[in-house]
Amino acid sequence: MLTLRRRCGNSVVRIMVTERCDGDCAPLDGSATPTLTVLRQVHGTRVVEVTRPGGHQGTCADAAWTSALQATLAVRTADCVPVALYGADANGDGAVAVIHAGWRGLLDGVVPATLAELRHHGIRDVRAVVGPHICALHYEFGSCELSAATTALGPSVAARTSWGTPALDLREAARLALRSHGAVIDREIERCTASDERYFSHRARGERGRTAVLIRLEPKPWPERPVSDSEQEREATGATTERFTSPLGRLEADPEGEAPGD
């Protein structure tokens, strides 16, 4: 699992990106972790506000945001684009969000809808972490749908597969949607779910399994101490700061107790 930590106003943000070895997150429903919100993703543009840990569990939506400490938000993907957002208001109060961005959601505006919701609540300087998804080389796309995508998002989203057929560049589509609506891309995890077997892929291998991107707003340590480089970003091999302990996705803090458990 890849774990990122970022400063966010008066808080710290923890972002977790699971891999196949962390278990199948398809059955992840929050029941094992009451502070976890897992949406019922429907390839739409609905954005929900989670006001307490575990709120909106199972709600039909493709994006969620929260300013509640210790509320963990999650989206699950097998080829679509998972996006984690974070920012703070003028008082330094942080907020985080997750987006499940499939091609329909990208065309219909799930990214700008989420950013607009954050701006409406005074969240500024929003930064984005874009998770693993299928790359254009492996994402063959129908010509009619591709024409609609270029009309909605711009001509640069049109690409070709490695075998020469029309393709949709989801990475470029996500970039355009984020940047054109004021978000700064902090990190792109440039791993293709079709070619990298650390991740599940429905398109390439017909898999039903899902990986997850999770984000949580945590209080800063007190007395405050600097966040070290290793804490800012840790890609661990068996010793992550946060890990899944079963396919149901129960989160546990590491044995050092560095991060409060759910």
Q: What is the mean pLDDT of residues 190-204?
A: 91
pLDDT in tens, 23-78: 888 777 766 688 999 999 999 999 999 999 999 999 999 999 999 999 999 999 99
What percent of the chain lies above the pLDDT cut of 70? 83
In this structure, the strands spanning 72-77 and 211-219 are: antiparallel
Q: What is the mean pLDDT of residues 103-109?
A: 95
| pLDDT at 232 (0 to 100) | 56
For the entire predicted model, the pTM comes to 0.86
pLDDT in tens, 109-156: 999 999 999 999 999 999 999 999 999 999 999 989 999 999 999 999
Spans of all domains in the chain = 2-132+188-253
CATH number, domain 2-132+188-253: 3.60.140.10
Q: Which of 104-108, 117-121, 125-129, 243-247 has the lowest mean pLDDT?
A: 243-247
Nearest Cα to Cα of residue 5 among 240, 257, 178, 175: 240
| pLDDT at 25 (0 to 100) | 86
| pLDDT at 205 (0 to 100) | 87
Q: Which of 37-46, 102-111, 203-212 has the lowest mean pLDDT?
A: 203-212
